[in-house]
Amino acid sequence: MSSEPAEPGILGSYRAGADAFRRRLAGHMRRPGFELLVAEAVRPSGATVLTACAYGFPLRGTGPWWQGLDGYLPANLVRVAASGKLFAVAGVLVERRVRTQDLTREWNLARRLQKRLLEDHIGALGVTLVDHLDVDTYEALLAWGWRCPPAEGGGVSRFAPRRLLVLR
């Protein structure tokens, strides 16, 4: 059996993405109330492997906001944060196949992880930011139940670099 060499740049871009993820995760882990959920699978060999994860933290009405999130929050969500009912879902990492197949099924792993992350925060709204140019992630999040909040007067420009999404 032979293996094909990887395309030039694929491994390097994977490593750069993995390094960036680890840096973001390390910073987010320091946030009060940080939570991480993992999904594992057992291979035929008996080895347990990490297959997905979701993580986030509660947002408060005081203190530093998550990556400039305050510039994206409509006034009604700022009030929700002040009441302690806003939870930033900072990351949902799943295999590409999970992001592209059966997105709307309740048993979809990404849907279950994000839902479980919010269950411990009764009545909390989930919020996340997605890069405006990352159409694949945006469409996957919409399929997983995320929604754009209704625009308020003076809302964020559609030309802003990121979009705010909300999950109930």
CATH of residue 125's domain is 3.40.630.30
Q: Tell me the residue ranges of DSSP E strands in the chain.
A: 35-42, 48-59, 86-93, 125-131, 162-167
pLDDT at site 153 = 53
Distance CA 88, CA 69 (A): 9
Q: Is residue 3 part of a domain?
A: no
- Domain holding 65, by residue range, is 10-167
Q: Is residue 22 part of a domain?
A: yes
Q: Is residue 158 part of a domain?
A: yes
Q: Is residue 97 part of a domain?
A: yes
Q: Is residue 23 part of a domain?
A: yes
Q: Is residue 42 part of a domain?
A: yes
Q: Are 33 and 66 in contact (CB under 8 A)?
A: no
Q: Is residue 1 part of a domain?
A: no
β pairing state of 86-93 and 48-59? antiparallel
Buried b (16+ CB within 10 A) or exposed e, 51-63: ebbbbbbbbbeee
Task: Say what percent of the chain tops pLDDT 90.
Answer: 20
Q: Is residue 2 part of a domain?
A: no
Number of Cβ within 10 Å of residue 144's Cβ equals 22
Task: Output the pTM of the full model.
Answer: 0.78
**pLDDT tens digits for 97-111?**
776 677 667 678 888
**pLDDT tens digits for 22-73?**
888 898 898 888 999 999 989 999 999 888 899 999 887 665 555 566 677 7
Total of domains in the chain: 1
Q: Are 66 and 32 in contact (CB under 8 A)?
A: no
Distance CA 84, CA 162 (A): 23
Report the half-sphere exposure of 2 (CA within 13 A, side-chain side).
2
Identity of the amino acid at 33: G
pLDDT at site 37 = 93
